[in-house]
Amino acid sequence: MVQKEIRKDKSLLKIFNCIANGWPKSSKDLPLDVVPFFNRHKTIIIVDNCLMTLDIVIIPAIFQIRILKQLHRGHQGIQRMKSIARSYVYWPKIDTDIENNHVKQCQNCASVAKSPTKTELSSWPVPHEPLERIHIDIGGPVRGKYYLVMVDSYSNWPKVAQITTITTTEIINQLHEFVSRYGQP
């Protein structure tokens, strides 16, 4: 079936011509529908009137949906389906076709997809005295000014310093002033 249909696929016929007549030196000299094959052109061969890249069959457009449906029957999820597909078949944008046309809309595939590992939420330890820990952030710009916000985690007392630039020197100067007035955290 592939042998028969490959001769009807205009893009794949152009590849047969490239193999017979030699590939151009640059992909710029190829028709747009053949350009995606250029990166593999050194590995594309003809076996029994079928195009192959290494030991993987290049599938004519007419069979691509059928192959995707067959690959999808196991509902193994995106990564596994791509892995199986890459072992046996190729066409440009096969990964995108797998993702968009089948797996993303399938509840069964979603159920076997790898979920990101969940991390346990944890809070900061409760401070036992003032200035045990302070939190620092920069707010702004508000009307061209920035604000260095320092909050004591024990009392929630805020100290806000208006600054014009957010440079290391300016932040260090403001922290020195904070420490000289209130003590070292």
Q: Residue 2 has what pLDDT?
A: 85
Q: Residue 136 has what pLDDT?
A: 94
Q: Where are the alpha helices (DSSP H) in the chain?
A: 2-6, 10-21, 61-72, 78-88, 94-101, 107-112, 168-182
Residue 166 corresponds to which tokens in the numbers above?
A: 């957010």
Q: Residue 177 has what pLDDT?
A: 92
* Alpha-carbon span 19 to 182, nearest angstrom: 79
The pTM for the full model equals 0.56
Q: Report, as ranges of residue numbers, the positions in the chain whose pLDDT lies below 50.
A: none
* Through-space distance between the first and last CA atoms of the chain, rounded to whole angstroms: 77
Report helix, strand or coil for 1. coil
